[in-house]
């Protein structure tokens, strides 16, 4: 696919998700559709060397998605559920793409509320 067109589509879709973040009726289904698009198995298999623009776009969106997850409960769960459905039942070659996204796996391991001593 055309790299710039794909990047524009992902970024435009992310802006729609962000715009709907205050509308619970449409937000969750839009977020789920977006996650399936932006974190599609074919895109997750790309390395930075193969397609630097798309991987940079996905990395930036991942960062923003994590920020949104800090203020909106359940957002990160949508991503993790999708990644599990993509990586776990698949062949070894597909699961090996998970190693390209250790940031997602690491965040999944440590995700949750941070408890302070004064709480």
Residue 81 counted as domain residue: yes
Residue 118 counted as domain residue: no
Residue 119 counted as domain residue: no
Residue 8 counted as domain residue: yes
pTM: 0.78
Please state the domain count of the chain.
1
Residue 115 counted as domain residue: no
**For position 96, what pLDDT does the model report?**
60
- The string of DSSP codes covering the chain is --HHHHHHHHHHHHHHHHHTTT-HHHHHHHHHHHHHHHT-HHHHT--TTT-HHHHHHHHHHHHHHHHHHHHSTTHHHHHHHHHHHHHTTS-HHHHGGGGGGHHHHHHHHH-SPPPPTT-
Residue 64 counted as domain residue: yes
Instruction: Give mean pLDDT in consecutive 10-residue pieces for the chain, a chain of 119 residues.
Output: 87 96 93 94 81 89 91 90 78 60 69 64
**For position 116, what pLDDT does the model report?**
64
| Residue 103 lies in domain | 3-110
């Amino acid at each position: 696919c055309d790299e710039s067109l794909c990047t524009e589509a992902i970024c435009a879709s992310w802006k729609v998700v962000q715009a709907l973040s205050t509308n619970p009726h449409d937000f969750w289904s839009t977020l789920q559709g977006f996650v399936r698009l932006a974190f599609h198995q074919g895109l997750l298999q790309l390395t930075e060397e193969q397609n630097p623009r798309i991987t940079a776009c996905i990395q930036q969106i991942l960062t923003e998605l994590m920020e949104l997850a800090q203020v909106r409960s359940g957002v990160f769960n949508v991503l993790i559920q999708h990644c599990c459905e993509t990586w776990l039942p698949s062949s070894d070659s597909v699961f090996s793409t998970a190693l390209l996204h250790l940031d997602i796996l690491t965040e999944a391991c440590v995700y949750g509320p941070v408890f302070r001593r004064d709480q």
